Amino acid sequence: MPCQQRAVVIRAAVAALALGIAIGADAAVGHALARRGAERAEREASVCAEEAAANASARAARSAGAGRPSLGEDAGTVGCTGGLR
């Protein structure tokens, strides 16, 4: 009987160790994905800011001395349109 109990205890310890490793790996992967997502958002924000600046300068050049462009013209959107590329 003591051998069976020892085998059960060893199996339980191995299962607990495997569970601990799986949870640790999951946390590491989650942090890596979060960091990658933050870096991607930063890059996209930079591209969006550059695009907004280009759109603003194009609108300013188009309106020249006349002020604002007429409503019939393509006023476009300010900045990025968002969404996935």
pLDDT tens readout for residues 7-31:
888 899 999 989 888 888 888 888 8
Please give the tally of structural domains in the chain.
Answer: 1
In a domain? residue 77? no
Tokens coding 56: 């603003």
- Please give the Cα distance from 78 to 56 (Å, whole number): 7
- 19 found inside a domain: yes
Distance separating alpha carbons of residues 77 and 81, to the nearest angstrom: 7
* 78 in a structural domain: no
For residue 41, what are the domain limits?
Answer: 2-58
What does pTM read for this prediction?
Answer: 0.45
Tokens of 64: 């020249």
Residue 65 domain-assigned?
A: no
The tokens describing 54, both together, are 């280009």
Write the pLDDT tens digit of every residue in 37-48: 999 999 889 888
- Cα-based distances in Å from 48 to 33, 56, 84: 22, 12, 12
